[in-house]
């Protein structure tokens, strides 16, 4: 049965769980436009409230894509996981904006996606007990760009971020130190590794990280390195041998990192 709650300025609707995934369809009106997401809500809520993870797909992708690609709720069943759906967005590869995506920086596209995030977070707070010290964001490609934009624009809300297959771009100048994991592929043909490495180096400097990292994993297909920070804002680099993709282990690494981070 459809359950609908009206609040000022928007409509929030939760439908029946998605078959086989324990997910719920969400619909919300933001500035007169219908926006949607898929969400997982844990059966048991911790005394301090549930952590919340927001997940953003790449350009031309979908919420369902990142449910499979990240599977955060499978790795962290105690957390609320929200997989948001983008809307048509122009890009270098899609100048007419026929495919779904996200704004890449604060102030673009009327901040429609920042408003979407704000509305979903506000309604989640109203309907569920959440832990405001443990709110996180991650995304792939264009969704990774938007994760950096969220860090720049809503950094006071987030405990940690995990952008994947992207660069910080113009958002870098607005970032303040925050725990961050960045995933990149050696053979990425869309966002070259050399540019992603420059972003990673800039974030390590911003976060005041040690120059020498500690190995989290040194496998033949993926190398994960943890860079501690005296200020409590560590950085993790995840480098895999593939291209512009998410390895199967992506969600596990992100959840491991997020679980160790919370706001003071």
The predicted-structure confidence for 209-258, as pLDDT tens digits, reads as follows 999 999 998 778 999 999 999 999 999 999 999 999 999 999 999 999 99
- Exposure class string for 74-103: b at 16+ Cβ within 10 A, else e: ebbeebbbbbbbbbebebeebeeeebbbbb
- The two three-digit tokens of residue 168, written as one number: 């910080």
Q: What's the token pair of residue 138?
A: 């991650």
pLDDT at 93: 76
Q: Residue 22 has what pLDDT? A: 84
φ, ψ (nearest 5 deg) of residue 93: -90, -10
Mean pLDDT on 1-29 = 52
Q: Does domain 39-259 have CATH number 3.30.9.10?
A: no
> Mean pLDDT, the chain, as a whole number?
91
Ramachandran region of residue 102, left (φ > 0), alpha (ψ -120 to 50) or beta? beta
Hunting for tokens 């790795």 — which residue is that? 75
Q: What are phi and psi of 9, to 5 degrees?
A: 90, -10
Does position 37 have pLDDT exceeding 70, yes or no?
A: yes
Phi and psi, residue 103, nearest 5°: -65, 150
Whether residue 10 is predicted with pLDDT greater than 70 in this model: the reply is no
Q: What is the pLDDT of residues 152-201, one digit of tens each?
A: 999 999 999 999 999 999 999 999 999 999 999 999 999 999 999 999 99
- pTM of the prediction? 0.91
What is the Cα–Cα distance from 174 to 94, expressed in whole angstroms? Answer: 27
Torsion of Cα atoms, 193 then 254 then 102 then 192, to 10°: 0
State the pLDDT confidence band at 3, using cuts at 50, 70 and 90: very low
Q: Where are the domains of the chain?
A: 39-259
Dist CA 259 CA 228 (whole Å): 15
């Amino acid at each position: 049965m459809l359950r609908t709650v009206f609040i000022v300025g928007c409509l929030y609707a939760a439908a029946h769980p998605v078959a086989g995934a324990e997910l719920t369809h969400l619909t919300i009106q933001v500035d007169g436009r219908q926006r949607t997401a898929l969400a997982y809500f844990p059966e048991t809520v911790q005394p301090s409230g549930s952590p919340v993870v927001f997940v953003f797909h790449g350009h031309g992708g979908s919420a369902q894509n990142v449910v499979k690609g990240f599977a955060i709720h499978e790795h962290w069943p105690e957390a609320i996981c929200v997989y948001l759906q983008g809307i048509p967005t122009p890009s270098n590869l899609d100048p007419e904006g026929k495919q779904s995506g996200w704004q890449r920086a604060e102030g673009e596209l009327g901040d429609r996606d920042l408003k979407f995030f704000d509305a979903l977070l506000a309604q989640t707070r109203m309907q569920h007990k959440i832990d405001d010290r443990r709110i996180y964001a991650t995304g792939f490609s264009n969704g990774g760009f938007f994760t950096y934009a969220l860090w720049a624009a809503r950094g006071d809300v987030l405990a940690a971020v995990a952008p994947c297959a992207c660069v910080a771009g113009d958002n870098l100048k607005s970032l303040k130190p925050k725990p961050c994991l960045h995933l990149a592929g050696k053979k990425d043909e869309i966002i070259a590794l050399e540019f992603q490495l420059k972003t990673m180096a800039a974030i390590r400097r911003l976060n005041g990280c040690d120059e020498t990292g500690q190995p989290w994993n040194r496998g033949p297909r993926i190398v994960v390195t943890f860079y501690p920070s005296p200020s409590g804002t560590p950085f993790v680099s995840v480098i895999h041998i593939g291209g512009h993709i998410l390895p199967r282990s992506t969600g596990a690494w992100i959840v491991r990192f997020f679980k160790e981070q919370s706001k003071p």
